[in-house]
Amino acid sequence: MRDGSVNPGSYAAAGPLRMYTFLAQNEIDNKITDVNSKQRLMVAKTLMQAANQLQLNIFGNKLEEVNPSSGSHMRAREIVMDIVKLFDPVPAYLSLENKEEAKQWRESLQTWRDAIIERGTFMWKWSVSEIEKL
């Protein structure tokens, strides 16, 4: 919005919510139980980080900062969700109450995020290259 606040109806504002609801549906589909909101929020944030980096990667040096309102960011989010659904599922949820397990889980989320970014960048660049051949 013009005053610098986020438009609640924008594509940008829909991104984190979409990741959250995607994860909730993924838990239902895969019969994953005992996931709390804090865990789901952490994973949704991790997926948004992957989408942000994926958007930057596809443009190389042509895009200076993430633009979550653009069509390319919406495409990045779709790619991230497809990768999670089809190739690289959410790492096992660990307790956030136990400090050692929480640390281990955060590290596994970072490794998982990086793998999603790598696969997504490869897939998206391949797709673009196929269209460029036409």
- Per-residue pLDDT of 65-106, as tens digits, reads 999 999 999 999 999 999 999 999 998 888 788 899 889 999
What's the pTM value of the predicted model, to 2 decimals? 0.91
* Cβ atoms < 10 Å from Cβ of 33: 8
pLDDT, tens digit (0-9, with 9 covering 90-100), for 42-65: 999 999 999 999 999 999 879 899
| Domain assignment present for 84 | yes
Identify which of 10, 71, 16, 17 has the alpha carbon closest to the alpha carbon of residue 63. 71
Domain that holds residue 24: 11-132
| Domain assignment present for 5 | no
| Domain assignment present for 115 | yes
Q: For the chain, what is the mean pLDDT?
A: 92
| Domain assignment present for 2 | no
| Domain assignment present for 109 | yes
Can you read off the two tokens belonging to residue 107? 């590290």
For the chain, how many structural domains are there in total? 1
pLDDT at 1 exceeding the cut of 80: no
